[in-house]
């Protein structure tokens, strides 16, 4: 910027200001009011524009929210064709809702042609969503998709299923038996050591108790006294009276000796039993060691143990899923705060205050469902389903009736009297529902498909926050499995075993509490599994067991010599009897 420019600027400013001066003076004479009325108009105009923009964009925003949140929960794509908003009466309609099957992305696990919700505007004023009536129509399941519904990365339960199916039978023939036995800390050797220490202690004690030299000395003293007193009595009969105290004393000494020896017979029995028990433990040692070592191959309890190890309930992903669900359930809405991000400055965590508006944040007062497919029809009704449930003031009820090729029903009655008192009853039944092409499981060789059979289920029970008592029985009668063609080994045996079953059943029992549920799953598949595994494993397991046993015997050595412990007790008993006999002889003479 040059000085010339600055001069020009100065001149132009002064010229302009001289022109504006009268105008400004005029304005100053007419002071502006405190209000800017055009500002009010602008404010309400902007509010109107924002409101209109929201109303136009809201359907898209609602659809996006449902799709994003739903996909996150389901683990597969959730799509809504379009959303309609109506202001009078206040209603939201979702058209063509599709929820993809996470396991089979080219088909939908659920589809509804329309979900119409009429909302309570008064509740919205309190930031609560109360649906007066929800109508779900055109429900379908298993409908094909034109594009994949898979989400990138898949979902966790699929990984759990793969983990269950990916059972590896241990390679028994490659086991290093020699190293296993040599490295093992054998319980037999420990028991032998303990036995020997005890035997030595017992020997020492008996050696002291039955010390022949000491006994002979005492007997010699008795004999000497007896001889002396007897001679005095022969000399003069009156000496018997004079020496009566010494005779009594001699008799007392003999009785004391006898009592001591008789007391040893109790000890003899106790010591013998102690060593006998320990000897029995030593004898059982090699078998215990064998069982322990065989556990390394999953054969601690034979083939049954192997099944428990590789197909126990802990490997059932649906049980795991149920446990995780139950554990993640927050029964009382007890959290103090929740986070919600909004606008430029973080809105931060929410602090909860007592809500005197006795209305749940989300409530569906009436729910009507209907749908049909080639194989089934659905009619369902629900009432007062809400969150937080104890604020609904009424028990939530849900009743679903399925018809078509079979019959099924689902009834749920959940009554939350308060945040800490809940009682939920579930009753669901499926009666002889025919199965066609149902996937039982997927393995790396292909899918296991049940081509025919009938499915029956009976689930009943009740749940409170303190206790669960739920029983579920699922059965597939006359299952006909189509197995992957490449199937071999125990898996093939398993498939063939299932095909021979009249019924596959699963019994699930849940007890305990919601926080710590105890879930037990029993199935006759376990027996089939045992047989399938047994074919392959039993022979190898027997060979392996023989090898381990031989190496064990080699390491432990011959234990038969330990059996001689009993002979010593016989010897001690004989000694005791001999001593008693001597004492008895003198007592009789006295």
Partner 1 sequence: MLTILAKIFKALNSEQSPNQLAIAISLAAVVGMTPLLSLHNLFIFLIVLWFRVNLTMFLVSWPLFTLLGLLLSSPIQSLGNMVLQEPSLVPMWESFYNTLIGRWSDFYYKGVMGGLILGTSIAIISFPISKALINKYRYKWLEKIQKYQVVRMLKASKLWQLYGDA
Residues lying near partner 1 in the complex (CB under 8 A) are found at 1, 5-6, 9, 24, 32-36, 39-40, 42-43, 125-127, 337, 340, 342-357
State the minimum distance, in angstroms, from the CB of residue 92 to partner 1.
20
Residue whose CB is less far from partner 1, 23 or 237: 23
Residue-wise DSSP of 458-516: EEEEEEESS-EEEEEEEEEEEEEEE--TT--HHHHHHHHHHHH-SEEEEEEEEEE-SSS
State the minimum distance, in angstroms, from the CB of residue 350 to partner 1.
5
Residue whose CB is less far from partner 1, 22 or 144: 22
State the minimum distance, in angstroms, from the CB of residue 418 to partner 1.
19
Decide: 149 and 108 in contact? Cβ < 8 Å: yes
State the minimum distance, in angstroms, from the CB of residue 35 to partner 1.
6
State the minimum distance, in angstroms, from the CB of residue 1 to partner 1.
5
Residue whose CB is less far from partner 1, 22 or 153: 22
Residue whose CB is less far from partner 1, 32 or 567: 32
Q: Tokens 């005779």 appear where?
A: 247
Residue whose CB is less far from partner 1, 19 or 354: 354
Residue whose CB is less far from partner 1, 6 or 49: 6
State the minimum distance, in angstroms, from the CB of residue 20 to partner 1.
11
Tokens of 219: 């007997």
State the minimum distance, in angstroms, from the CB of residue 30 to partner 1.
13
Decide: 548 and 258 in contact? Cβ < 8 Å: no
Residue whose CB is less far from partner 1, 34 or 374: 34
State the minimum distance, in angstroms, from the CB of residue 351 to partner 1.
4
The 10 Å CB-count burial string (b at 16+, else e) for 114-138 is bbbbbbbeebeeeebbbbbebbbee
State the minimum distance, in angstroms, from the CB of residue 53 to partner 1.
14
Nearest to 392 by CA among 358, 354, 353, 356: 358
Decide: 415 and 395 in contact? Cβ < 8 Å: yes
Residue whose CB is less far from partner 1, 312 or 348: 348
Give dist(CA 445, CA 441) in Å, integer: 11
State the minimum distance, in angstroms, from the CB of residue 84 to partner 1.
25
Element (H, E) at 398: strand 396-404
Q: Tokens 């994949």 appear where?
A: 148
Q: Tokens 């090729």 appear where?
A: 405
Residue whose CB is less far from partner 1, 49 or 347: 347
State the minimum distance, in angstroms, from the CB of residue 161 to partner 1.
42
Nearest to 169 by CA among 304, 312, 313, 307: 307
Nearest to 94 by CA among 126, 70, 73, 120: 70
State the minimum distance, in angstroms, from the CB of residue 364 to partner 1.
21
Nearest to 454 by CA among 433, 480, 485: 433
Gyration radius of the chain over CA positions: 46
Backbone angles phi and psi of 240, in degrees to 5: -60, -40
Residue whose CB is less far from partner 1, 348 or 403: 348
Residue whose CB is less far from partner 1, 23 or 589: 23
Nearest to 359 by CA among 321, 333, 392, 405: 392
Backbone angles phi and psi of 177, in degrees to 5: -65, -45
SS (H, E, C) 525-562: HHHHHHHHHHHHHHHHHHHHHHHHHHHHHHHHCCCHHH
State the minimum distance, in angstroms, from the CB of residue 32 to partner 1.
7
Decide: 473 and 505 in contact? Cβ < 8 Å: yes
Backbone angles phi and psi of 96, in degrees to 5: 55, 65
Nearest to 381 by CA among 136, 577, 202: 136
Decide: 413 and 383 in contact? Cβ < 8 Å: no
Calculate the alpha carbon distances from 412 to 113, 138, 212 in Å. 25, 22, 88
Residue whose CB is less far from partner 1, 6 or 61: 6
Residue whose CB is less far from partner 1, 9 or 166: 9
């Amino acid at each position: 910027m040059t000085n010339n420019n600055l001069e020009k600027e100065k001149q132009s400013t002064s010229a302009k200001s001289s022109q504006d001066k009268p105008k400004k003076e005029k304005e100053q004479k007419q002071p502006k009011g405190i209000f800017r009325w055009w500002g009010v108009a602008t404010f309400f105009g902007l509010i109107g524009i924002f409101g209109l923009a929201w109303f136009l964009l809201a359907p898209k925003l609602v659809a996006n929210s449902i799709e994003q949140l739903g996909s996150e929960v389901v683990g597969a794509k959730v799509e809504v064709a379009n959303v309609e908003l109506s202001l009078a009466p206040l209603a939201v309609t979702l058209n063509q809702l599709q929820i993809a099957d996470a396991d089979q992305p080219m088909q939908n696990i659920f589809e509804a042609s329309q979900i119409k919700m009429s909302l309570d505007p008064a509740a919205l004023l309190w930031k609560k969503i109360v649906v007066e009536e929800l109508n779900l129509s055109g429900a379908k399941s298993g409908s094909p998709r034109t594009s994949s519904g898979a989400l990138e990365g898949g979902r966790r339960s699929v990984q759990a299923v793969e983990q269950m199916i990916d059972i590896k039978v241990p390679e028994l023939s490659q086991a290093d038996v020699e190293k296993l036995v040599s490295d093992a800390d054998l319980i037999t050797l420990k028991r032998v050591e303990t036995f020997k220490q005890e035997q030595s202690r017992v020997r020492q004690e008996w050696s002291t108790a039955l010390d022949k030299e000491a006994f002979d000395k005492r007997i010699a003293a008795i004999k000497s006294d007896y001889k002396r007193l007897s001679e005095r009595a022969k000399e003069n009969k009156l000496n018997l009276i004079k020496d009566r105290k010494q005779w009594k004393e001699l008799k007392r000494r003999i009785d004391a000796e006898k009592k001591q020896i008789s007391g040893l017979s109790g000890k003899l029995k106790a010591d013998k039993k102690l060593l006998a028990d320990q000897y029995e433990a030593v004898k059982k040692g090699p078998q215990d060691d064998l069982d322990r070592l065989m556990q390394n191959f999953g054969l601690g309890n034979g083939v049954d143990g192997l099944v428990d190890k590789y197909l126990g309930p802990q490997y059932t992903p649906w049980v795991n899923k149920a446990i995780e669900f139950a554990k993640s359930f927050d029964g009382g809405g007890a959290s103090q705060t929740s986070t919600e991000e909004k606008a430029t400055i973080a809105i931060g965590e929410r602090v909860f205050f007592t809500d005197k508006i006795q209305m749940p944040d989300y409530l569906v007062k009436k729910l009507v469902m209907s749908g049909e497919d080639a194989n089934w029809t659905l009619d369902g009704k629900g009432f007062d389903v809400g969150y937080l449930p104890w604020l609904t003031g009424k028990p939530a009820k849900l009743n679903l009736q399925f018809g078509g090729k079979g019959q099924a029903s689902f009834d749920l009655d959940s009554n939350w009297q308060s945040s800490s008192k809940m009682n939920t009853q579930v009753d669901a039944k499926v009666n002889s529902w025919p199965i066609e092409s149902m996937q039982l499981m997927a393995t790396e060789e292909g899918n296991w498909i049940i081509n025919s059979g009938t499915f029956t289920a009976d689930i009943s029970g009740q749940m409170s926050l303190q206790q669960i008592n739920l029983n579920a029985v699922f059965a597939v009668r006359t299952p006909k499995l189509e197995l992957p063609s490449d199937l071999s080994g125990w898996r093939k045996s398993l498939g063939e075993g299932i095909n021979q079953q009249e019924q596959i059943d699963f019994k699930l029992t849940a007890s305990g509490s919601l926080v710590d549920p105890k879930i037990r799953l029993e199935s006759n598949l376990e027996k089939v599994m045992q047989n399938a595994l047994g074919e392959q494993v039993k022979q190898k397991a027997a060979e392996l067991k023989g090898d381990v046993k031989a190496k064990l015997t080699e390491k432990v050595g011959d234990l038969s010599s330990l059996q001689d412990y009993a002979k010593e007790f016989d010897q001690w008993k004989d000694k005791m009897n001999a001593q008693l006999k001597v004492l008895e002889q003198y007592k009789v003479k006295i």
